[in-house]
Every structure is written in C-alpha cells, then in structure tokens.
Structure 1
Amino acid sequence: MDRYLAPSTAGHHEAAGANMADSPTRSLSSEQAEPSLADISADIRALAAAMVTKEDMRALSDTLHAAIRTEVTSLRAELTAQATRMQVAESNVQAMGDRLEATNTAIHRQGNILLQLRRQTEDLDNRGRRSNIRVRGLPEPEGNEDVEATLQMLFRDILGAEAPESMVFDRAHRAARARATDNTPRDIICCLHAYKLKEKIMNKARSRPTWRFRDAEVALYQDLSPLTLEARRALRPVTTLLRDRGIPYKWGFPFMLLARHHDEWFPLRWPEEVPRFLQRLNLPPTEVTDWILGGALTHLRSAHIC
C-alpha cells in the first residue's frame, strides 16, 4: 500500500524529459517492480490489525463507566456526609437560638429584679433619713464646732414662737468630705429625735428659699439618698419645663415625680416613662439623662418596668 500511496517519481522524470530525445535504451534497474498481491494483502491485514475494534471500544467504555461510577460513589458519600454535618449544624444553631432566647429572657427578668431591688434599697435609705435635715450655707469655723448648739439657734429662729423648749438630736455633723479649696462650708446633716418636730421645721423652712443667720444665707433641705438626688438632677430639664408652664408638681416616695394637669396627677417613676409623661402633659420632647443605666434617653426602651 505504501507503494501506491507514496508519490511516484517516474512520471516526474518522464515529464521532465518529454522534450528530450528518446533514450536509445532503458535500463531495467530504473524501473520499479510492481507490488505483488501478497504484499498488498499483507499491508491490508496490517492496517486491519491496527484499527480499533468493537472489543476495544467496549473495553474503553467499561473502563470509563467504572471510573465514573467510582467518582459518583465518592461524591455521593461526600454529599451525604455534608448533609449530615449540615443537619447537625442546623440543630446546633437552633439549640443555640433557643438557649440565647432563654438567656435573654432570664437577663431581662433579672434586670427587672435588680431595678426593683435598687428601688427598694433607695426607698429604705430615704426612710432611714426621714428625720434628717440637711443645712446648707452655715459658716464653718476653723476650730472645733458645737454643731448642735448652732442648729438649735437656727431652728429657733425659723420656728419663732412655735419653737419647743428643748430639741433632741440623735446625731448632727458636717458632711463627711474634705473641705473645699474655695472655703465653701460643708453641709450639716442632723437627725432630730422627734419626727414631728423635724416636719414642723421643714414646713416652716419651705415658706422661703433661704434664711438669714449669722450674716449668711442658709437653706434647709430634706436629706435624701444619693440615688434619689441623682434622679432629681437628671429630671431637672423636666421640672424646669413644668415651672415654665406653671404646672404644679411634687416628689413622691418611693421615687416618683408627680405633675398635676387638668385636676389629674400624672406619675413619672422610670426613665422610659419620660416620653409618654411629656406627651400627656403637652410638653415638648426633652433630652433627659437615664438616671439608672446612664446615657441620654433618645428613644423609648423596649423593656417596660412595672
């Protein structure tokens, strides 16, 4: 077959020598021998043997199928394992979500309990100070001071003819803090033995903001818990609005701010009640410091304390 497929050089030589004179003689060695039938048959059998057979295709197909089945089986196993892990992860996430919700509920409940305990502690502290009077503005001498004698003279000046013959103090002292650098006198805190006498002094003292005593302006206040004082300072913008609008208000115990509007008293007990309190009294929105958690009250918190 190669002989038939290979290019023949005889025609080329003949074409090239067509215009040439005929050679008188032709050499036998220059002529190619014609292929025999046996050679052609052998070439055909060699080509047929080299061709791909059905058995070869079937074997190749079986090999490919086996490889694909192996890969698919491996992928199925991996997908099954991934699905199992996903189910476990989803179960864990759901369990964590349930635990988180339960934890948030418990924290919210405990927060309410702590706030209630704080309110009770504050109320107990104020009840323990019911017989106390805080005197501000009394000059503070450099040496020893007879605080009780000074207070007796001050209270007699305030009560006038209503002053009793004797006043018994359970305790009386200056505020337990260092002296100010500007020599501002420290407050005097006293506890009168008779609660009724203390109320009489305070009712008379409320008739004016200050009293003249020993060339000084003296003011009397109810001694209050630091928590209550902090809350009152935080609500100062609200009380300023109430005074500007001529709305009467008063402080209650346990701690609350009571304002009267249209012959009805509206209470304010917790920081989150401030927006509704202002709305009910037709007052403009006012920024108030959260006296319990700290920070400005810019919106109503979701937790409602009863």
Structure 2
Amino acid sequence: MGRKSKQLHNEAMPSSQNIVDLLRATPRPAKMVPAQEASEHSSDDSMEEAAEATTKRRSTRRESTPPPEQMPASKADIIHLLKELKAQSAADVALIREDLSAMTARIQAVEVNEAATTAKIETLQREMAQLKKTSTILENKVAALEDAKRQRNLRTRGIPEAVQDPKVTHYLRRLLASLLFQAKAKSILLEFHFRIPKPPRAPADVPRDLLIVFQSLWEKLLVQEAARETNMSLKVLSYLSIMTSPGRHSMKDITQLLRTKGIQYRWGPGCRLSVSNEGKRVHITQASDSVIFL
C-alpha cells in the first residue's frame, strides 16, 4: 500500500528532466527590433489621434445641433407679461414724478431766495447811495468849517529861506506896497506869519511856503486879487483845507477860461464857484457844470 502511494506521488510530480524538456519545447516570443517598436508606437499615437478627432466631431456635432423648438407662449402668459411691464413702468414713472416734484420744490425755493436776495441787494445799494450822499455832505461841511478858519490866510510861495525875522515883516510890507497903493498897503494889518512844512516830494532847494494871516477878510481878498493881476515871480495862493484844495485845483482850467472871457466869478464854500453870467448867478460844483454857459 505504501509503495503504491509513493509510486503514484512520484508519477504525479514531474522530474527536473521533464521541466527542462518542457521549457525547451515552449516557443519563446520573438524579440522586437527598434523599427518594429517605433511602428507600434506610431500606430498607438495614430489611434489616439483618431479617437480624439472622433470625440471632437461628436462634440462639434452636439454643439451645432440646434435646441429643440420651444412651445409658443399662450395668451395668458402674454397678458401676465404685459401686466408686469405696466406695473414696472408705473413704478418707474412714479419715482420720476417724485424726483421732478422734489426738484421743482427746490427750484421754487431757490427762486424765492434769489428774489429776496435781489431785494436786499437793491435795498443795500439805495442805502449805500444815501450814505455816500450824506458822507459827501458831511465832508463838505467839515471842509467848509476848516476853510472858514483859514479864510483870512494867504500862502506865499517863492520867498527865500534866508529871509527870516525881522526881515520877513519888512519884506511883506514891500510886497504889499508893490501890489497896492501906498496908502492901502499901510492900512493893511497882519496878525502873524510863519513857515509851513514842505510836501514830502518837494525838491530840497525849494523854500518853504510862508503863511500870512490878515486881520480882515476884505484885506486878504484885496491882496489876492491884486497878486492875480500882477505878473511876478512870487505866487500868492489860498490856504485851503486838504479836502477843498484838490477840488479847486481840478477846476483850474475853468477859472482860467473865465478870466480869459472876462466873466466874474467868486469862490464859495468848499469847491462851489459862483459865476455871474448875463445878470444871472450860476453855481459850479464840478467841471461838467461849466458846459451850461461856456
């Protein structure tokens, strides 16, 4: 029994000689050369490219395929859509109307404010004109008061600085005698005289003006008129306030024309010039007024 099983086992197990014979009898796969490997790789690539091209054609065909036609909208759908459009349009119009109403209210408020501002500006302009007129009147009154204090004063220009007291009194007496008759010159009384400062822009070699104060206004006017009609190197001027002097100086051409035509005139308070024309008394306060009779 033991011998039979061992014999069967030996028959079932192949021997090493049998294994070698089986390996020799089994056909081996042929070894591929590089050219065959390259051809196989190229065939694989061509197959992949063909697959990709097929996929692209399918996707292109799928994209180019038009969608199926939609079902036509029903009447109820159209009515519902119109209602929605009308509601949206009504809401938009309501918003626009609100904006327009707010804008109109703002414009009206601006117009009201503009009208009020214009009225205030006009009121201020009238008040400014009235204040300017009042200021001019007050300035003229102040100038008239200042001139009233100086109406007996005369300013002589051109007396050398070397002429000092007591030579000044003797110099003035000789000046009066050259302007008036000897008897009148002796009767004229002088209160006092003094030098007044020069303007800042006056040359250094020009002597200071000498201010003469007369006791009588009539005597002062007499000397002034005589000096105006006499040609001499000295100048005899009125000593006016700082507000009156520029105004009278601006009317210098008018007074020169009046003297040329032989028309009598007389200075009043401030810059008012009284002119006798054809038996009438005319008052000139500015250069444009002379056009009336010149």
Task: Bin the TM-score by the shorter chain.
Answer: 0.5 to 0.7
Alignment of 1:60-209 (within 5 A): 60-141=81-162, 145-146=165-166, 149-150=169-170, 153-154=173-174, 157=177, 160-163=182-185, 167=189, 169=191, 171-177=192-198, 180-181=202-203, 183-192=205-214, 194=215, 196=216, 199-209=218-228
Larger radius of gyration: 2
Q: In structure 2, what is the equivalent of residue 266 of structure 1?
A: 282
Shift in Å, 1:147: 7.1
Higher relative helix content: 2
Alignment of 1:175-254 (within 5 A): 175-177=196-198, 180-181=202-203, 183-192=205-214, 194=215, 196=216, 199-209=218-228, 217-254=233-270
Secondary structure (helix, strand or coil) at the match of 1:253 reads: coil
Q: In structure 2, what is the equivalent of residue 35 of structure 1?
A: none
> Unaligned 5+ residue runs, structure 1?
1-45, 284-306
Contact 2:248 2:271 in 1 (8 A): no
Contact 1:260 1:266 in 2 (8 A): yes
Contact 2:161 2:208 in 1 (8 A): yes
Instruction: State the one-letter code of the partner of 2:118.
Output: G
Question: Number of matched residues?
Answer: 224
TM-score, structure 1 as length reference: 0.63
Deviations 1:17-47 (A, max 9, x none): xxxxxxxxxxxxxxxxxxxxxxxxxxxxx98
| In 2: Cα distance, 1:226 partner to 1:147 partner | 30
Shift in Å, 1:106: 0.6
- Please give the root-mean-square deviation of Cα atoms over the aligned residues, in Å: 3.0
Secondary structure (helix, strand or coil) at the match of 1:217 reads: coil
Secondary structure (helix, strand or coil) at the match of 2:234 reads: strand
Distance change (3 Å), C-alpha of 1:50 and 1:238:
same
For 2:75, which of 54, 63, 88 is the aligned residue?
A: 54
TM-score, structure 2 as length reference: 0.66
| In 2: Cα distance, 1:167 partner to 1:102 partner | 56
Identity of aligned residues (%): 21
Shift in Å, 1:201: 4.7
> Unaligned 5+ residue runs, structure 2?
1-67
Secondary structure (helix, strand or coil) at the match of 1:265 reads: strand
| In 2: Cα distance, 1:236 partner to 1:168 partner | 28
